A and B are shown apart, each in its own frame.
Chain A
Amino acid sequence: MKLGALSASELTARLARGGLDVDTGPFVVRVETEIPALADELRLLYQDFPVDEGDGLADFHVSVRRPAGPLGLRRWWRQQAMAYLDDVRPFEPLPIGMALPMLEWSINWCAATQANHYVMIHAAVLERDGRALVLPGVTGAGKSTLCAGLALRGWRLFSDEFALIRPADGQVDPWPRPISLKNASIELIRRWAPDAGLSTPVPNTNKGTVAHLRPPVGSVARTGEPAMPAWIVFPTFARDAAPRLTRLPRARAFFKLADCSFNYESLGLRGFTTLSRMIDGCDAYEFTYSSLEDALSLLGALPLP
């Protein structure tokens, strides 16, 4: 059953009592929250994901609660949201209005710290014709915007944050969760696709204003279909710049890629072997762009390696 098939009251009740196991593809996430507004946002963003009614084994357990604070005052005044990740609280509480970004960051944190059966790169990943495009980048390089722009025009969304590379065969597993858009990108994507599902923008987070874009239904339906990476493109957004795509030598690409990895260091030999094989099978580029249209046509025309 899909999450969207649950009635609003049923969803709220299950999230509050024991949690709901959401099958996001590579990971089953048990989400638990007593915050009704968060239930509504989850319904909007995760409606196409299956609810795992299976066996009670979840990969990550994320619970967003309202801390009572001294004398229980926080229940009424300046309410907060506190995240419990597998029963541990790694973060300070945030104002309750930031519950959704907090939940999304929490799920990312779980993967980044635990999923060592993958080599994980901080990257957006999309697929066309069975091959994956990997867009690694630091926050602010414009990879989420680029990712949303491509995902809304024919590319299949894998992830806007994680390239999950399988050490066994080098394929990338899709993890098409909501795309996190920041500041000016929110308006840009709204114009790019007026009927895309967007969560309510949350101002004043440590990344500025944040809104999440619902992943395309077609991408969510195909979480079981991995792809071999073909292109590694390091994007840089530069206002008014002419689009420029330049080839990157493999050795340089390797180190840039390792630099963007969450767990390259801790994986040791596994990390090295997996990334070198990936670099050998891909073409790497640096890409400067200022408009989504240019990006769409240039990246869409990349030849197979």
Chain B
Amino acid sequence: MDRAVFLRALREPASMGGLAPAEWDVLLRQGRHVGALGRLAALAAGAGVLPAVPSRARVRLEAALEDVEQQHRLIRWEVIRLRRALAGTGLPLVLLKGAAYLHAGLPASRGRQFSDVDILVPRASLHEVEAALLREGWKMEALSAYDERYYREWSHELPPLAHPKRHVMLDVHHNILPPTGRLRPDPRLLLEAAVPVTGDGLRVLGPADMVVHSACHLLQSGEHDKSLRDLGDLDALMRQFGAAPRFGDELAARAAALDLERPLFYALRFAARLFGTPIPEATARAVRRAAPPALVRAAMDRLFAAAVEPGPPQDPPRRTRLARAVLTVRYHWLRMPPSLLARHLAHKIGGRRGRG
């Protein structure tokens, strides 16, 4: 399937007003595959082109808008419950990703589909937070002993939690990258710089940190079928925050302080290539110093471009499948030292055999 129409719809929403029905036939499916139907709908509505959309496609977009509204309502409700559950800990509730965009009223939340809440807590308070959540009825998914250990020792988050009466997943992070990885941002910096948003005791990461986290998430994840949606987030954040005069310097400084210049380099590069994302000169200059050698850069360009295909997740084209496999290996390579990686792979491969 052709992704040019899809990318153009995200970059220039008004272009959706001129699409033929047969193009919508493909675009609607791509939107669903990437988890961005709500985003397309919000963009089309924002550009005022919904009336020009063929009616069969329009009813789907309008329904997607309402679905997103309901999802956002559920997320807000979940955050209220969370705040109550954690009130006794005295900690501020630091929201990450979608829930943060929503509560900060950022354009990145417009039409954004998501059904989980991510929060960041100090590592020292992890047990206290977990105990409070379990006491208030949240349940942890039953995991194998190995997976449990994987989360507890080698991951930057607790095993996923959910309240059985609601369907919102909760990820409790104590960092934005695994403690076993090559890159080790200091989470205290993130927590200290968190800024309050409307709603008692709610905070989100500072603007620069939010961009750095979004970049990290894009590059340090084993999955790429939804990467175009995530790039859309990064693009929206950059357009919003980049308007402030000193933002370019601030972003460069934070990326350096957090030791995350390399992921920021890649993420901004890909966002600029696919979305035309504007990058402040000060940031561009700073992250260029963290750029990998030309050969690696060229390889990553090709891999990433092939990996972000907006097609069906199960049956991607061959080159997409290959690129995703290579990026997954890279991801694991970066998140674990070789000895641990060998153990992890042995377990996963052995486990798969055992089950089969």
Contact = CB atoms under 8 A, between A and B. Distances in A.
B56 A86 contact: no
Interface in A160-199: none
Given A87-B312, A268-B73, A57 B54 contact: yes
Nearest to A55: B21
A268 B70 contact: yes
B17 to A, nearest CB: 15
A303 interface: no
What class of interface size applies to chain B in its complex with A?
A: 20 to 34
Contact of A88 (B21, B57, B314): B314
A269 interface: yes
- Size class of A's contact patch? 20 to 34
B29 A61 contact: yes
B105 interface: no
A55 B62 CA distance: 20
Contacts of A115: 63
Nearest to B27: A57
B271 to A, nearest CB: 26
Contacts of A54: 21
Interface in B300-322: 311-315
Contact of B21 (A57, A89, A266, A267): A57
A89 to B, nearest CB: 6
A54 B313 CA distance: 29
Main SS at interface, chain B: helix
A61 B29 CA distance: 9
Interface in A119-171: none
A15 interface: no
A114 B314 CA distance: 19
Given A88-B312, A268-B73, A269-B70, A56 B33 contact: no
A54 B67 CA distance: 29
A59 B56 contact: yes
Nearest to A88: B312
B22 A267 contact: no
A88 B314 CA distance: 7
A267 B313 contact: no
A116 B63 CA distance: 6
Contact of A57 (B25, B70, B313): B25
Interface in A68-117: 86-89, 114-117
Scoring A28, A114, A117, A267 by chain B CB atoms within 10 A of each residue's CB, the highest score goes to A117
B56 A266 contact: no
B66 interface: yes
B20 interface: yes
Nearest to B70: A268
A268 B72 CA distance: 11
A87 B56 contact: no
B60 A117 contact: yes
Given A56-B25, A117-B63, A266 B70 contact: yes
Contacts of A267: 66-67, 70
A141 B54 CA distance: 40
A87 B66 contact: no
Interface in B25-51: 25, 29, 32-33
11 contacts: A57-B57, A59-B56, A88-B314, A114-B60, A116-B67, A117-B59, A117-B60, A266-B67, A266-B70, A268-B74, A270-B66
Interface of B: 20-22, 24-25, 29, 32-33, 54, 56-57, 59-60, 62-64, 66-67, 69-70, 73-74, 311-315
Kindly list the 5 A-B residue pairs having the minimum CB-CB distance in the complex, ordered from nearest.
A56-B22, A55-B21, A57-B21, A87-B312, A268-B70
